[in-house]
Structure formats: structure tokens, C-alpha cells
């Protein structure tokens, strides 16, 4: 009888837990370093996240390409993603870009910099930022397509502004 009661209590705890308890975790595909640019392909990414920006934006089942970005104390970076459309793998690519901050990459990371998320159409530039002296720390630049799980393709990321790194050690 105690075993059934224990199982019922565990089930009830999971049922009452909010979405925060089940945050989607992610792993960055690459590190973005200044001055850039960088190139990638969402077809080479994986479907790691269901939502971004503090679980506020549903991004579906598309593949994400995620860059790890470290901001220093003084920064004013704007990231611009350009997709050449249907060129390359995939059926076309309409970029959605989010700039999230948190110690570890997950769907609960917030998007609290100006213009922290944006989406566009194939062959158009999509920008996020500027960071406007956002707090120093770990950020994640998420690039995907909201429209379809099969839409993916190549892109470039350009940096406008400053993206200093933190000095970790004096020699």
C-alpha cells in the first residue's frame, strides 16, 4: 500500500510542477567571436528547444543553430543574420533569431536586451540588438525557422558594434 501511495504522490508532484521544472536544455554548436563574421547552416543543427525567451516564444520543431557569446562589461553589439534562401540544403529558410542570456543554454533563458528576438523572410537580413551595455556574462544566439521543421539552410552572422571579452587572467 505504501508503494502505491508513494507513486501517487510522485505523479501528483509532476502534475503540479510548472513548465519551469521541465526547461528544454541546449548545447551551443559554436562560439561567436569578435569581430566575426561567422557562417553556419541550420540543417546541421538539431531540434533542441521548443521555446525561447523565458519559455515565451514557441519555436516549433525546426533545427536550431546556436552560438555561445560572452559579453564583457562594455558592449554594444548588433547581430545580423542573412540567409540566401533556398540555396543549399533544405526547402528554404526564414530566419528567426533570439539573443538569450543565462548561465546554461535552456528555454528559460531570458531575452532582456533591446530587440532580443526577430524573424524575417528568406534572403533578407534579420537583426537582434544592440546589446546596449547588457550585463557581462554568457549569452546564446539562437537561429532557426519558425515556419516548418523541414525549413533549414545556410546563413552568415555579421557583428556591428563592440563585443569585448572579459579578461580572465593576467600573465
pTM: 0.78
Distance of alpha carbon 170 from alpha carbon 159, whole angstroms: 27
Percent of the chain clearing pLDDT 70 (strictly above):
76
Residue pair 97/40 in contact by the 8 Å Cβ criterion: no
pLDDT of 169 reads 57
14-63 pLDDT per residue, tens: 333 333 434 677 889 999 888 888 999 998 888 888 888 888 888 888 89
pLDDT for res 4: 54
- Angle at Cα 80 formed by Cα 168 and Cα 99, nearest 5°? 55
Query: Above 90 in pLDDT, residue 149?
Result: no
CA pseudo-torsion sign 124, 159, 156, 32: negative
CB 19 within 8 A of CB 55: yes
Kindly tell me if the per-residue pLDDT of 9 is higher than 60.
no
Task: Delimit the domains of the chain by residue range.
Answer: 20-162
20-162 under CATH 3.40.1350.10, yes or no: no
Note whether 53 and 71 are within 8 A (CB): no
> What tens digit of pLDDT does each residue of 127-146 get?
898 888 788 888 999 999 88
Q: Is the confidence at residue 13, as pLDDT, over 80? A: no
Amino acid at each position: 500500500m505504501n508503494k502505491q501511495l508513494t507513486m501517487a504522490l510522485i505523479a501528483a508532484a509532476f502534475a503540479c510542477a510548472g513548465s519551469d521544472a521541465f526547461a528544454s536544455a541546449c548545447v551551443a554548436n559554436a562560439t561567436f567571436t569578435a569581430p566575426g563574421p561567422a557562417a553556419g547552416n541550420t540543417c546541421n543543427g538539431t531540434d533542441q528547444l521548443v521555446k525561447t525567451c523565458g519559455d515565451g516564444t514557441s519555436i516549433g520543431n525546426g533545427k536550431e543553430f546556436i552560438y555561445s557569446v560572452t559579453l564583457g562589461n562594455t558592449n554594444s553589439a548588433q547581430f545580423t543574420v542573412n540567409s540566401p534562401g533556398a540555396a543549399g540544403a533544405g526547402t528554404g529558410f526564414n530566419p528567426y533569431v533570439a539573443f538569450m542570456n543565462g548561465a546554461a543554454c535552456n528555454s528559460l533563458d531570458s531575452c532582456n536586451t533591446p530587440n532580443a528576438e526577430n524573424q524575417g523572410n528568406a534572403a533578407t537580413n534579420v537583426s537582434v540588438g544592440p546589446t546596449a551595455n547588457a550585463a557581462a556574462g554568457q549569452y546564446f544566439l539562437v537561429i532557426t525557422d519558425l515556419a516548418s521543421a523541414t525549413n533549414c539552410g545556410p546563413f552568415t552572422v555579421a557583428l556591428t558594434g563592440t563585443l569585448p571579452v572579459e579578461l580572465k587572467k593576467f600573465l
